[in-house]
Amino acid sequence: MPNPPRLRRSFFNRSVHEVAPELIGATLLVDGAGGVIVEVEAYHHTDPAAHSYTGRTLRNAVMFGPPGYAYVYRSYGIHWCINFVCEQEGSASAVLIRALQPTEGLAVMRRRRGLHDDRALCSGPGKLCQALGITIRHNELPLDRPPFELRARREAPDIARGVRIGITKAAEKLWRYGLRGSPFLSKPFKP
């Protein structure tokens, strides 16, 4: 079987609420390590919880640029988290990548994480950035060129929808998406 096509930048040039569920099942690799995206969250700029909600700053500047770029930010002074910028330039909306099913580069990911339990390797936004070696150096890089490799899913998976995690503002919306039943989620979805 040939590899599915790489995601082009145009894939991200539409509503963040369309892109987010379609990323479930896609494959994300960084320098050859990574796996299948099993959990994401959508952040539209009109959402009070979005980093871009109160306007452009140094940190969120890439969100205001064209779609198809990485937005990496520091979380709680400790972790890195990665988003994919979506929608037309100026919209400032993005999808947070929350969990992967590890498939490629398991050895290097286990070493970076100091773990052997593959279910704990990429089951959270901070964890997967540590496993894939994502840091601020990846901020503002295009997603359709190395070190990134993004491939479309082969077929539509069974997608679970739920309220977002770790958010107090506007958490009531069903803007978290996941691969139903996957053991690699950061948290299970309620049935």
With CB under 7 A as the contact rule, the residue among 153, 167, 170, 180 that binds DNA is 167
* Site membership for DNA, residue 50 (CB under 7 A): yes
Q: Which stretches of 16-172 are DSSP H helices?
A: 16-23, 106-113, 125-132
With CB under 7 A as the contact rule, the residue among 6, 59, 112, 161 that binds DNA is 59
In whole angstroms, what is the distance from residue 65 CA to residue 121 CA? 31
Contact 128, 77 (CB under 8 A): no
Which residue, 2 or 55, has its beta carbon nearer to DNA?
55
Interface with DNA in residues 97-136 (CB under 7 A): 113, 120, 124-128
For the chain, how far is it from start to end, CA to CA, in angstroms? Answer: 34
Phi, psi of 60 (to 5 degrees): -95, 10
Residue 110's SS3 state is helix
Which residue, 11 or 80, has its beta carbon nearer to DNA?
80
* Site membership for DNA, residue 9 (CB under 7 A): no
In whole angstroms, what is the distance from residue 10 CA to residue 147 CA? 19
The 68-87 site mask, x for binding DNA (CB under 7 A), equals: ---x--xxxxxx-x-x----
Binding site for DNA (CB under 7 A): 41, 43, 49-52, 54-55, 57-60, 63, 71, 74-79, 81, 83, 94, 96, 113, 120, 124-128, 165-169, 186
